[in-house]
Structure 1
Amino acid sequence: MPSIPQTFSISDFLTWNRQKQLDLQPQFQRGAIWTTQAQSFLIDTILRELPIPAIYIRTRIDAMTQSSIREVVDGQQRLRAIISFAAGKLKLNNRSGDFSGLLYNDLTQEQKDSFLSYNLSTVQLINATDSDVLEVFARLNSYSVKVTPAELRHAKYDDPIKWAIWNTTRENGRLWDEFHVVSIRESVRLKNTTLIAELYMASMEGLGDGGEEKVNSFYRRNQDKSDGVLSLISLDVQENIDRVLFYFGDDFKNTTFFDAPNFLILVCAIAFLEGKLQPSLVTAEVNDRSGAGIDLVKGSNILPLLADAVENNDTSVSDRK
């Protein structure tokens, strides 16, 4: 059974679909199950020329009629979204930035050309039997890596709370690329979304216990929060992050305070002292949090000493203040 990795443009798939040479739902496939939000996110990814997973098709070649039928083995939901958008039946939602609210015909000619010429990585299984197809996927899955809690959460939820946290994570690439608050390797597994989720938790509910189970519960509790409410929370979270980076970014880039747990505490501490963080069980005993007494410039000079002391287990740092 030959398996041939190739690339085909979106235009190729649209042509096959029009010519009835593309079978989106062979007997082993489910029907359409993606939400509109998931479809919109895929089209946004394509329009930004970012990669998407490979498509697997079984190509049945009929030598007598000199024609081919391509059955979609894996990638049906992606292709349905692409075909729906190209037909003008899918409008991009408000999480697509500058593409929000657009239909295919609203794109510029350059954007349409880019969309149609976007290459889809495709593996063709030539004249494969059902048994062949099952073996291919058994082999693929034998090398799969267990998903992280963050990856599972991202796949499970499709609510405004998920997309608010995702967008804040994406907009703060500097934290992962430059400061390595969460490593690139862990960010690929979406562990950076856990840190951002904990900042949302602190902003909305006060500083408390974190961890993946707490984050899961937070997602469940806030599934019904509206985009409008979450956009205000997003602004608060972003302002708190920006404030810490402004005062402490350059000095703390390679210190313990830019490890994820300590960075979280640093952001929350500044927000709490400025009166921008709700009290919680952890902070209830702190009475004086008046912003009037805060000198962040002085703090930016002192905290590097503290960071150095922590890393060197030096308990005499108070003598050097």
Structure 2
Amino acid sequence: MRRQPTTQQITWFLDLERNDQLDLNPPYQRKSVWSPKDRRFFLDTIFRNYPTPPIFIHRTIDDNGFATYHVVDGKQRLETILNFAKNKIAIDANFGDINYNGKKFNDLNAEQKRKFWDYTLVVDFIEAVDGANIDQVFDRVNRNSINLQPQELRHARFNGWFINETENESEDDFW
């Protein structure tokens, strides 16, 4: 098995979808599980240009030379991108910028659309692997996914002197 990390812009995935080359539902893939809130949060990530985890893709080529790109990991993110581009979902109404609040793709101006299209995703291509091993890749990528607890999320968002002092005090033998 070989891995080939690279980057791709959203337009690349949209082109694959248009050409019927993107397989979001290979046999090992789970169903759609993201809530509308999760999808809006991911759109927020894109428009604020925050990084996201890699998308894992397994490319196969049939006997006619037609390539299909099977999504090993990243289905929820790609579904969100595709559904937004098809005007099916909107940016959160409380995005914090009146130029984006509650807008669907068709509501965006040319510059905003370009910002969406140009967003870069890390893509890890999985090559030279058979069906049994690709199942192992899916299992390994998803096995150690542990959601952060609410307190861990609060700590990440609101870190600073007070939080650090509170944590230090809580470790004191007095308590």
TM range (shorter): 0.7 to 0.9
Alpha-carbon distance, 1:16 to partner: 0.2
Q: Write the mapping of 1:53-68 to structure 2, written as runs, cut at 5 A.
A: 53-62=53-62, 64-68=63-67
Aligned to 1:76: 75
Distance in 2 separating the partners of 1:50 and 1:141? 22
Q: What residue ranges of structure 1 are gaps of 5+ in the alignment?
A: 155-164, 184-258, 264-321
The corresponding residue for 1:19 is 19
The aligned residue for residue 126 of structure 1 is 127
What's the CA shift string for 1:195-254, capped at 9, x where partnerless? xxxxxxxxxxxxxxxxxxxxxxxxxxxxxxxxxxxxxxxxxxxxxxxxxxxxxxxxxxxx
1:181 and 2:166 equivalent? no
Deviation of 1:35 (Å): 1.0
Counterparts of 1:77-92 in structure 2 under 5 Å?
77-92=76-91
Alpha-carbon RMSD across the aligned residues, in angstroms, is 2.9
What is the deviation of 1:146? Answer: 6.1
Return closer, same or farther for 1:145/1:52 CA change in 2, 3 Å cut-off. closer
Describe the shift of the 1:57–1:111 C-alpha distance in structure 2 as closer, same or farther (beyond 3 A): same
Unaligned runs of 5+ in 2: 170-175
Aligned twin of 1:38? 38
> 2:94, 2:102 within 8 Å by CA — same for their partners in 1?
no
SS at match of 1:181: helix
1:117 deviates by: 1.1
Bigger RCO (CA 8 Å, 6+ sep): 2
Once the two structures are superposed, the pairs formed by residues 183-262 of structure 1 within 5 Å of their partners are: 259-260=165-166
Structure 1 position 59, deviation (Å): 0.5
Distance in 1, matches of 2:124 and 2:151, equals 25
More helix as a share of residues: 1
Distance in 1 (CA, whole Å) between partners of 2:34 and 2:86 is: 17
Question: What's 1:93 paired with?
Answer: 92
1:38 and 1:146 map into 2 onto residues whose CA distance is 16
TM-score by length of 1: 0.46
How many positions carry a matched residue from both structures? 167
Question: Which range moves more in the overlay, 29-38 or 46-55?
Answer: 29-38
Q: In structure 2, do the counterparts of structure 1 residues 145 and 37 end up closer, same or farther at CA, with 3 Å as the change threshold?
A: closer
Please report the TM-score for the alignment, with normalisation by the length of structure 2.
0.81
Cα-to-partner distance string for 1:126-157 (whole Å, 9 max, x where unaligned): 25222222333555568x486553378x6xxx
Contact 1:59–1:127 (CA under 8 A) maintained in structure 2: no
Change (3 A) 1:148 1:79: closer
Helix, strand or coil at the partner of 2:25: coil
**Aligned mates of 2:110, 2:75 — CA distance in 1:** 27
1:102-117 equivalent positions in 2, closer than 5 A: 102-117=103-118
Which position in structure 2 is the counterpart of 1:7?
7
Cα shift readout 1:244-287 (whole Å, capped 9, x = no counterpart): xxxxxxxxxxxxxxx13699xxxxxxxxxxxxxxxxxxxxxxxx
Change (3 A) 1:59 1:100: same
Q: Given the superposition, is the C-alpha separation of residues 180 and 37 from structure 1 closer, same or farther in structure 2, using an over 3 Å criterion?
A: same
Q: Which of the pair has more CA radius of gyration? A: 1
Is the 8 Å Cα contact of residues 73 and 138 (structure 2) preserved in structure 1? Answer: no
Pick the structure with more strand per residue: 2
Q: Given the superposition, is the C-alpha separation of residues 61 and 35 from structure 1 closer, same or farther in structure 2, using an over 3 Å criterion?
A: same
Contact 2:73 2:141 in 1 (8 A): no
Q: Which residue type is aligned with residue 2 of structure 2?
A: P
What is the one-letter code of the residue matched to 2:161? H
